[in-house]
Structure 1
Amino acid sequence: GEGGNFCSGGDVHDIIGPLVKMGMPELLKFTRMTGDLVKAMRHCPQPIIAAVDGVSVGAGAIIAMSSDLRYATPDAKTAFLFNRVGLAGCDMGACAILPRIIGQGRASELLFFGRTMSAEEGLAWGFFNAVVPAEKLEEHAMAMARRLAAGPTFANGVTKNQLNMEWDMSLDTAIEAEAQAQAICMKTNDFRRAYDAFVAKEKPVFGGD
């Protein structure tokens, strides 16, 4: 984003304009391509942090939504405004992901009306993990990124994978999947490092393996 804004989505003339001239095969190729971005973000093993200031609308709102952690300034304005341009709210996984973050009713309101969600609402609804002053946003996001990078990165990747996979699992299946995932983590060097550090009353230094 530039000028104090996160992302304003697709350019009206460069992206949206040509869409009205496309045939169905071209349109489907385009919509699948945009969805590939969300797939890549969710399949990326590293947690993704969005630092949202100012406008975050359309595809910009989707990018924030698809991140693992979201931090914002009081001026953040988020809108899934597809409805306002005659399109459905089911864009790039919004109908699958957004209700899981803020709830079905709140997601329905944002997707049916395309209205703006304020930073205050986003924090109260669980969309934003924290709201910080604009001058502190980058510093805060980078501090969280450093904490993640200094942590057990292999295990964090497993956590992200399970968060994705368990959306459509039964409870019994999820518990079994987590049992297997945790057993794998118990064979990592980071698990041994944490144990050794605890015994020595030291802070563990993780290596990501």
Structure 2
Amino acid sequence: MSVTAHSEFVLVDRPRPHVALITLNRPERMNSMAFDVMLPLREVLRQITDDNDVRAVVLTGAGAGFSSGADHKSAGAVPNVAGLTRPGFGLRTMEILDEVILGLRRLHQPVIAAVNGAAIGGGLCLALACDIRVASPDAYFRAAGINNGLTASELGLSYLLPRAIGTSRAFELMLTGRDVDAPEAERIGLVSRLVPAQDLIGECVTMGERIAGFSRPGVELTKRTLWSGLDAGSLESHMQAEGLGQLYVRLLTANFEEAVAARAQGRAPKFTDDK
């Protein structure tokens, strides 16, 4: 079993023939979506989609979390932003994260999310961008943007979540910001099944191996037609509108800073509509 470290924060393993296991490897930060993690993940996805030996992919997180979303303390360095204003910087960072979500969707190979713990905010978006989600009993999910004084719409969430669980449930989860535990996630169809924590990766790899045993064009075309059947419009254009709305709230109010400060101080945030 060989492991290639594309960075210290993204590991790629080949546990079985034709199955790639991608592990977000920043457990001390709950595999948050810092750019030190997302940039190498974007590159890994670009490489795997062109690797014709890989027929199925499993995505998981190291330690106790799948991904806790935005990293409010250590976001990492963003390349090619010298000379940009704050709005320009925001657009560049949004583009990188959008490319990760779209990269998962565009992979030729089916992707199975092995959700081992928290999938919060952008981490929930990562899971939803995968084709299949399998969870351990430790998993939980949260559309966290609304809790942070922002919109809950980010990285395709308002497009993908209603398609996964229906509109009423999606509205509720995105507008209340409440947690969904693993049993509820299975009940509402957010995940396809629950697996004991110690068996999660093995079960997902076995599923990937089963998929890899079928016709390659049959599998690829099934993935494409499933998604095209769900797409009422363009995910990419929807994500642009979503991202601009998030940037508007982020840049024109101090609500995000208030949410971070309130969390650090152990109090409820007090949101306002301006700086």
TM-score category (smaller protein)? 0.7 to 0.9
What's the CA shift string for 1:47-98, capped at 9, x where partnerless? 0001011211121111111110111111211112011111111100011111
Q: Does 1:70 align with 2:133?
A: yes
Give the whole-Å Cα distance in 1 for the aligned partners of 2:110 and 2:181: 24
Give the whole-Å Cα distance in 2 for the aligned partners of 1:167 and 1:3: 33
Q: Does 1:128 align with 2:188?
A: no
What's the CA shift string for 1:109-146, capped at 9, x where partnerless? 11112211111111011111110111111111111010
Structure 1 residues 169 and 76, CA gap change in structure 2 (3 angstroms): closer
Note the 1:93-112 alignment, pairs <5 A: 93-112=156-175
- Name the structure 2 match of 1:153: 216
Q: Does 1:4 align with 2:64?
A: yes
Q: Does 1:31 align with 2:91?
A: no
Note the 1:182-193 alignment, pairs <5 A: none
What's the CA shift string for 1:141-180, capped at 9, x where partnerless? 111010011111211111111122233469xxxxxxxxxx
Could you say which structure has the larger radius of gyration? 1
- Structure 1, unaligned runs of 5 or more: 171-209
> What percentage of aligned pairs have identical amino acids?
31
Give the whole-Å Cα distance in 2 for the aligned partners of 1:117 and 1:108: 13
Specify the SS of the correspondent of 1:46.
coil
Give the whole-Å Cα distance in 2 for the aligned partners of 1:47 and 1:168: 17
Give the whole-Å Cα distance in 1 for the aligned partners of 2:93 and 2:124: 18
- Name the structure 2 match of 1:202: none
Give the whole-Å Cα distance in 2 for the aligned partners of 1:122 and 1:168: 22
Structure 1 residues 128 and 14, CA gap change in structure 2 (3 angstroms): same
Kindly indicate which of the two structures has a greater share of residues assigned to strand. 2
Shift in Å, 1:44: 0.8
Q: Out of 53, 57, 69, which is 2:120 matched to? A: 57
Give the whole-Å Cα distance in 1 for the aligned partners of 2:232 and 2:68: 35
Q: Out of 151, 154, 157, which is 1:91 matched to? A: 154
Shift in Å, 1:46: 0.6
Specify the SS of the correspondent of 1:164.
helix
Give the whole-Å Cα distance in 2 for the aligned partners of 1:61 and 1:169: 21
- Name the structure 1 match of 2:73: 13
TM-score normalized with structure 1 length: 0.74
Give the whole-Å Cα distance in 2 for the aligned partners of 1:121 and 1:147: 27
- Structure 2, unaligned runs of 5 or more: 1-60, 79-84, 234-275
Aligned-partner residue type, residue 59 of structure 1: G
TM-score normalized with structure 2 length: 0.57
- Name the structure 2 match of 1:142: 205
Specify the SS of the correspondent of 1:75.
coil
Specify the SS of the correspondent of 1:13.
coil
Which 4+ residue blocks in structure 1 deviate beyond 4 angstroms? Answer: none
- Name the structure 2 match of 1:162: 225
Give the whole-Å Cα distance in 1 for the aligned partners of 2:214 and 2:108: 14
Q: Does 1:80 align with 2:143?
A: yes
Give the whole-Å Cα distance in 1 for the aligned partners of 2:117 and 2:66: 6
Give the whole-Å Cα distance in 2 for the aligned partners of 1:51 and 1:89: 23
Specify the SS of the correspondent of 1:3.
coil
